[in-house]
Amino acid sequence: MDKIVEISGLSKAYTQGHEQILVLEELDFSISKGEFVSIVGPSGSGKSTFLNIIGLLDDTYSGGIKLFGKRLEDLDEAEKAVLRLKNIGFVFQFDSLLPEFTVLENIEMPARVLGEVQNVKGLDLLRRFDLEAIAGKFPMEISGGEKQRVAMLRALRNGPALLIADEPTGNLDRHNSAAVLDDLRRAADGGTAVLMVTHNEEAARRADRLLRMGGGRLSEEKK
């Protein structure tokens, strides 16, 4: 199987005053193409810390990380920026759509950054996820659930190999959560590796693999 992320011996500590607080300790992890993996764990156990490291938002750690077969220590900042833009999509609990742009324009934003706006691609995504009816609406004209789904399509716009979602359903009711989980499954079925953190056990069980974060480590739950 194609490995999208391979991690061995990952440790991460935060400095607080004169103290070092170890959040991740010698942790191993991998995710393959098309796999949907969820992580659950108590608040403060290091889930977001872990996602931020994989998503190249934090490079203060020790251990080995390979993304898409490349060792991160071999890449310079510019190479990492391109990797982040083209190969990694990020979705957070609270959406961050730009209010003065339409749904379609928001989805096209990551392509705009690369100088590659093609509305037809954004529209195609909207159609695939049954959201074409809201393409021309502004964020204030759509529901919270729709906003979250649009943020997800925006994360998928550049066809990332890896989609990282930090509590994507944290803010949603059951119905909208189900729609977001369907979207994540659809993305995984399309070949994207999907890594989701959630507090919702039921949501977590929709993934192919369920991991628990605790004591600085990840352990796999047998399904």
Ligand X SMILES: Nc1ncnc2c1ncn2[C@@H]1O[C@H](COP(=O)(O)OP(=O)(O)OP(=O)(O)O)[C@@H](O)[C@H]1O
38 binds Mg ion (CB under 5 A): no
Q: Which is nearer to ligand X, 17 or 69 (CB)?
A: 17
Please give the Cα distance from 101 to 97 (Å, whole number): 8
Q: Which does 46 bind (CB under 5 to 8 A by kind): ligand X, Mg ion, none?
A: ligand X
Beta carbon of residue 206, minimum distance to ligand X (angstroms, whole number) = 19
12-38: buried (b, 16+ CB within 10 Å) or exposed (e) per residue? bbeeeeeeeeebbeebebebeebbbbb
Beta carbon of residue 74, minimum distance to ligand X (angstroms, whole number) = 26
Q: For residues 69, 213, 50 and 2, what is the CA-based torsion angle, rounded to 10 degrees? A: 20
Q: Which is nearer to ligand X, 16 or 76 (CB)?
A: 16
Instruction: Look at phi and psi of residue 26 and say left if phi exceeds 0, alpha if psi is from -120 to 50, else beta.
Output: left
Beta carbon of residue 145, minimum distance to Mg ion (angstroms, whole number) = 20
48 binds Mg ion (CB under 5 A): yes
Q: Which is nearer to ligand X, 88 or 218 (CB)?
A: 218
Which tokens sit at 157? 């716009």
Backbone angles phi, psi at 55, to 5 degrees: -80, 10
Residue 177's identity, in one-letter code, is S
Half-sphere exposure of 56 (CA within 13 A, CB side): 25
Query: What is the footprint of ligand X within residues 21-50 (CB under 6 A)?
Result: 23, 41, 43-49
Burial label for 62, CB within 10 Å (0-12, 13-18, 19+), is exposed
Contact in structure between 139 and 106 (CB atoms under 8 Å): yes
Q: Which is nearer to ligand X, 44 or 99 (CB)?
A: 44
Q: Which does 44 bind (CB under 5 to 8 A by kind): Mg ion, ligand X, none?
A: ligand X
Counted residue by residue, the chain has a size of 223
Q: Which does 14 bind (CB under 5 to 8 A by kind): ligand X, Mg ion, none?
A: ligand X
Query: What is the footprint of ligand X within residues 41-100 (CB under 6 A)?
Result: 41, 43-49
Beta carbon of residue 29, minimum distance to ligand X (angstroms, whole number) = 15
Q: Which is nearer to Mg ion, 27 or 135 (CB)?
A: 27
Q: Which stretch binds Mg ion (CB under 5 A): 26-34, 44-52, 134-142, 157-165?
A: 44-52
Binding-site ranges for Mg ion (CB under 5 A): 48
Binding-site ranges for ligand X (CB under 6 A): 14, 16, 23, 41, 43-49
